[in-house]
Amino acid sequence: MSDTRQATISPTERAGSRKVFIKTYGCQMNVYDSQRMGDALATGGYVATEAMEDADLVLLNTCHIREKAAEKIYSELGRIRVMKAERAAMGKDTRVAVAGCVAQAEGREIIARAPIVDLVIGPQTYHRLPDALLRVDKGERVVETDYAVEDKFEHLPKAGKREISARGVTAFLTVQEGCDKFCTFCVVPYTRGAEVSRPLAQILDEARRLADAGVREATLLGQNVNAWHGEDAAGRPIGLGGLLYALAEIPGLDRLRYTTSHPRDMDDELIAAHRDLPELMPYLHLPVQSGSDTILKAMNRRHTGDDYLRLIERIRTARPDIALSGDFIVGFPGESDKDFEATMRLIEAVGYASAFSFKYSPRPGTPGAELPGHVDEAVKAERLARLQDLLRCQQQAFSESLVGKSLSVLVDKPGRRPGQIVGRSPYLQPVVMDENAGTVGDVVTVEIAGAVANSLIAVGASDARSALTGGPVAA
């Protein structure tokens, strides 16, 4: 495998305006990575297109977390094969690249199953993308899935002010990658490798660049973001809490968030940051997966349901209005009715503002897939439906509890209907407002008149209610 550092394509090699279409699957880290790959490709003369059929390069940034997510990629590659043939008939070449977690997990197998793929590139080697494409241009089939020794972030080009501004007033910022927790159901430690924290100075530099380009809200990302650790300017060890205190000092960066956290890494410093920092939004995604101690042990989560509840209590003492979100898996091998009921009781005890829940999907190479006692699909479906009903009721109750209250809202985009704008509440809900409430980038205070589906409606938002009943608000 090549050990080449990031190669920029020289102007003479630039093929004028070659177009790239990037499609992103999976978590926010993939969204961030796609932007960074877009930045790297821009230095190589590629411009982004929204239309796949116009693209000289189609790049799929993939997710391997559940079987369905991985299979989606192969059906997409089937469609791309047809499109590539149509373009070839018009005398146009189309390169196809697969990046992300499927690339890392399946490597060369992807090319065996989908021979139209020219390049397979794993998440640790994105800085080698321009070089890999040059090799593809020379007729090579390239598979880049080695864990790179060089720091990817040091070698990826930084986005310019114009590119950052074009992406809006909220931004993702990856501060940590990889995972050492090895939950028995999860592929992430295998697809993203060991836990690595970006250095404080590198993160502060990127955050300042975001703020300078007009970003008002940054969400720090990591597979285990609260395992982030580094050193402050004086060389003292700090955790994510310390990083948040430092970021809160940056002028213009009004709002901070982070995701996703593991309960075992919620330390005192981080909980204190929730108490002390008005910039840190009162919203926390803290997955527990199950409420049964037997299942938590089999999942290798290394905490009990009670540990989690006690932790929630400490967090709520520090920040009483915090909105909690979580992830749940139903039907992990060995999950009995009693185990499932324990999960339902935990959900009732916590009261979530939002949540994501999934049927267990056995993943090749993970210890969970080898466990006895796989649960029938019909039982999984029934449990998931009950669990989601409960979570939906809690979400609705949370939204309704905000009606009549004043909330600070970051205006982030135009609404779907004329005369409306949309922003984000501190609790991450979309808020539909009248366009006179403010302009994109403003943090405004509005009174909440109603709650529909996943959104809130501000007092004065004309015709918002009828606009919402037809479908989701967020574009």
Binding map of ligand SF4 across residues 180-199, x = CB under 6 A, - = no contact: -xxx--x-xx----------
Q: Which stretch binds ligand SAH (CB under 6 A): 180-188, 245-253, 388-396, 422-430?
A: 180-188
DSSP 123: G
Taking residues 313 to 332 in sequence order and writing x for each that binds ligand SAH by CB under 6 A, - otherwise, the string is --------------x-x---
What minimum distance in Å lies between the beta carbon of 329 and ligand SAH? Answer: 5
- β-bridge pairing 406-414 and 443-452: antiparallel
Q: Which of 7, 9, 59, 65 binds ligand SAH (CB under 6 A)?
A: 65
Alpha carbons 126 and 24: distance in angstroms, whole number: 14
Q: Does the annotation list 179 as a binding residue? A: yes
Specify burial of residue 239 (Cβ count, 10 A radius: 0-12, 13-18, 19+): buried
Helix (H) or strand (E) holding 166: helix 161-166
Provide long-range contacts, Cβ within 8 A and 24+ apart, for 380-388.
380/330, 380/331, 383/330, 383/331, 383/335, 383/340, 384/330, 384/331, 384/357, 384/358, 384/359, 386/344, 387/328, 387/330, 387/340, 387/343, 387/344, 387/347, 387/357, 388/357
- Which span sits near ligand SAH by CB under 6 A: 155-163, 184-192, 381-389, 422-430? 184-192
Indicate the residue among 180 and 463 with the shorter CB distance to ligand F3S. 180
The entry of ligand SAH, ligand SF4, ligand F3S, none that residue 363 binds, CB within 5 to 8 Å by partner kind:
ligand SAH
80, exposed or middle or buried, with CB in 10 Å at 0-12, 13-18, 19+? buried
CB of 98 to ligand F3S, least distance (A): 13
Nearer to ligand F3S, 102 or 467 (CB): 102
The entry of ligand F3S, ligand SF4, ligand SAH, none near residue 182 (CB within 5 to 8 angstroms by kind) is: ligand SF4
Q: Is 27 annotated as a binding residue?
A: yes
* 192 belongs to the binding site for ligand SAH (CB under 6 A): no
Sign of CA dihedral 161, 166, 169, 170: negative
Report the amino acid identity of residue 380. K
Residue 273 interaction partner, one of ligand F3S, ligand SF4, ligand SAH, none, beta carbon < 5-8 Å per kind? none
Query: Which of ligand SF4, ligand F3S, ligand SAH, none does residue 438 bind to, with CB < 5 to 8 Å depending on kind?
Result: none
Tokens of residue 449, six digits: 């008149």
- Choose among ligand F3S, ligand SF4, ligand SAH, none what residue 100 binds, the Cβ cut-off being 5 to 8 Å by kind: ligand F3S
CB of 13 to ligand SF4, least distance (A): 39
Q: Cβ atoms within 10 A of the Cβ of 366, count?
A: 18
Q: Which is nearer to ligand F3S, 226 or 399 (CB)?
A: 226
Residues lying near ligand F3S in the complex (CB under 6 A): 26-27, 29-30, 63-65, 100-101, 187-188, 191-192, 223
Please choose which of ligand SAH, ligand F3S, ligand SF4, none residue 64 contacts, taking the beta carbon within 5 to 8 angstroms, the exact cut-off set by kind.
Answer: ligand F3S
Query: Each residue of 166-204: b (16+ CB within 10 Å) or e?
Result: ebebbbbbbbbbbbebebbbbbbbbbbbebbbbebeebb
Cβ-proximal residue to ligand F3S, closest one: 26
Lookup result for tokens 């949309």? 422
Q: Is 393 annotated as a binding residue?
A: no
Q: Residue 361 touches which of ligand F3S, ligand SF4, ligand SAH, none (CB < 5 to 8 A by kind)?
A: ligand SAH
Spatial CB neighbours of 75, under 8 Å, sequence gap ≥ 6: none
Q: First CA to last CA across the chain, in angstroms?
A: 41
408 C-beta neighbours (distance < 10 Å), count? 17
Answer for which of 224, 354, 357, 429 binds ligand SF4 (CB under 6 A) is 224
Give min distance, CB of 226 to ligand SF4, in A: 10
Residue 196's contacts (CB-CB under 8 Å, 6 or more residues apart) are 176, 177, 178
Binding site, residues?
Answer: 27, 63, 101, 179, 183, 186
Binding site for [4Fe-4S] cluster, residues?
Answer: 27, 63, 101, 179, 183, 186
Q: Which residues bind ligand SAH (CB under 6 A)?
A: 65-66, 185-186, 188, 223-224, 260, 262, 287, 289, 327, 329, 358, 360-361, 363
